[in-house]
Amino acid sequence: MRIHRILKRTRHARNASRNDGGFTLIELIIVSLITPIIIGALAAGLVAVFSLQSSAANRLADTGDAQVVLASYQPDVQSAMTITTASTGSPQCGTGTELLGMEWNLDVTTGFYQTVVSYVEVANGSSNPTTVNLVRQFCTGPGTTEVGPSTPVSSTVLSYDLPTTQIAPTVTCNPVSACANLSAQYISTTAVTNVSFPITEPKSDYSYTMVATPAVAAAVVDTGSPITSSTLTSCGFASPGSGYYASTMCFVDFTPLTGNALAAATTTGGCLEMSVQLPSAYTLYFCMNISGPTLPGNSPPLAHSLPTWTNGFLGNNVNGAPFYTNVPGAPAIYQNVQGATNTVTLSNITVVNPQGVPATGWEATSADAESTDTGESITWNSNVPLTVIPNDQTGYDTPTDPVGNACQAGAGLTGNGTTTVECAEGSASAGLKTGTAMVEAETPTTLSATMVGTGLEAVTFGLMLS
């Protein structure tokens, strides 16, 4: 009996010390019900985060598209001399469904335009059949025949998210009847007052509207912007060997600066938008204002050929040595009132390549195109530093005399390397010059020349091309 009681107590002690850990049936049921709810909530949160991230990425991409499209759209519309919204037609650059077609750079001899740009829809190759690409097709030709569609110089995707239902831009004309044949053929942009291109990109529902006005029809405003008027011209080079930069310094031809164009350039607070055809289908744009004269007889400076007079150094043969001779057209802006003060300002200067992208590696130039004599001066100002261009073919005559006997033999030439350069003759006597002041500025947006004459003064503007 004693042994039995001992064994019983031992079993009781062992059972009392045992840990019966675990889940009850009720606990398991509760866990099995709650776990899916928690997992579902977490999954929904993750889906929302990923969805938000995707939406943000799409919106970012679409806003980026809008900036890319606008960068090409505005200069293209401003340049356009003719325009159409025909979905197919001739000329059309490249292939695809055309939304907008534009032409410019007219060859006046043949009547054919040298540049054609088409904004077209093309399949984007994605699995989403509701979107297409917006592509800018750029074509150029010699102007002797109509530009053909088969050889675009460039084909640039501006947007990867355009709806297949995208409508053509809305073109407004004054009078309205001038737009009557827009959807069937090219029309002149002289009556086009607005080209509005609304786009809603499907991936993010991001909407934007691009608005631009062809330069030839832009309205006059007191600030000079948008464009007052538009004049198409070109630039020309001097005879090879007649100057160190004869093959790279292109002088703007101001022959069109007459009539309405001259009136626009001399309007107080206004300016004349000019586009200059450059070699290799590049284009120079600027807005020109001519202020003054300050004397009675309101006769502004006029365009003039080189040399402007017998003692003018630029464009002349001095002692049998030519200096930038035979520049074509009328590259000088020549005062028309004795003793006047005039400022010629080029603003919003830009150079674009054939694809409409801002170019690099160019300098704007300006030069004294007459003879700065006793009491006269020319002062150049720019938003970037100006550098004096030496006259001879080997560099400066002396460290302080890059302009022969002009500007008091260099003593009156000040400000080299700053944003203001002046050539002042002071009290020196007039006479035949053996040099002239010339300046350049690297990719400026503004360049001006103030001419103070006792007689007459003249300046040129141009580009130094690399």
- Edge-to-edge strands of the sheet including 170-173? 170-173, 192-201, 206-212
Say which amino acid occupies 116. Answer: V
Contact 94, 155 (CB under 8 A): yes
Which residues span the domain enclosing 94?
A: 76-215
In this structure, is residue 58 part of a structural domain? Answer: no
In this structure, is residue 149 part of a structural domain? Answer: yes
In this structure, is residue 200 part of a structural domain? Answer: yes
- Edge-to-edge strands of the sheet including 187-188? 154-163, 131-140, 113-123, 97-106, 82-84, 187-188
Residues 170 and 303 in one domain: no
Residues 254 and 368 in one domain: yes
Residues 149 and 80 in one domain: yes
The pLDDT assigned to 226 comes to 34
Domain count across the chain: 2
The pLDDT assigned to 408 comes to 87
Rounded Cα–Cα distance for residues 86 and 96 (Å): 12
* Token pair recorded at residue 235: 């630039």
The pLDDT assigned to 224 comes to 32
Contact 192, 77 (CB under 8 A): no
State how beta strands 230-236 and 272-277 pair: parallel
Residues 258 and 375 in one domain: yes
Rounded Cα–Cα distance for residues 58 and 386 (Å): 45
Residues 142 and 239 in one domain: no
In this structure, is residue 458 part of a structural domain? Answer: yes
Tell which of 192, 215, 238 closes a domain.
Answer: 215
Say which amino acid occupies 353. Answer: N
Query: Minimal CA–CA distance to 191: which of 168, 211, 219?
Result: 219
Residues 164 and 277 in one domain: no
- Integer CA distances (angstroms), 191 to 167, 214, 218, 365, 445, in order: 22, 9, 9, 35, 29
Residues 154 and 101 in one domain: yes
Vertex 448 angle, CA 442 and 450, to 5°: 140
The pLDDT assigned to 165 comes to 87
* Token pair recorded at residue 153: 């110089």
Residues 180 and 309 in one domain: no
The pLDDT assigned to 227 comes to 34
In this structure, is residue 343 part of a structural domain? Answer: yes
Query: Minimal CA–CA distance to 217: which of 172, 259, 169, 186?
Result: 172
Residues 456 and 367 in one domain: yes
In this structure, is residue 62 part of a structural domain? Answer: no
Q: Is 265 exposed, middle or buried (0-12, 13-18, 19+ CB in 10 A)?
A: buried
State how beta strands 206-212 and 170-173 pair: unpaired
Rounded Cα–Cα distance for residues 275 and 48 (Å): 52
pTM of the model: 0.55
Per-residue pLDDT tens digits for 245-298: 999 999 999 998 888 788 888 888 878 888 898 988 888 989 899 998 755 556
- What is the per-residue burial (b if ≥16 Cβ within 10 Å, else e) of 187-226? bebebbbbbebebbbbbbebebebebbbbbbbeeeeebee
Alpha-helical regions (H) of 357-421: 406-409
Residues 268 and 388 in one domain: yes
The pLDDT assigned to 128 comes to 62
In the block, residue with structure tokens 């009557």: 180
Contact 143, 108 (CB under 8 A): no
Strands (DSSP E) contained in 363-407 are 363-368, 377-382, 386-388
Query: Which residues, given as ranges, of the chain have pLDDT below 50?
Result: 1-3, 6-7, 10, 13-14, 16-17, 52, 54-62, 219-229, 393-398
In this structure, is residue 320 part of a structural domain? Answer: yes
Tell which of 215, 241, 267 closes a domain.
Answer: 215
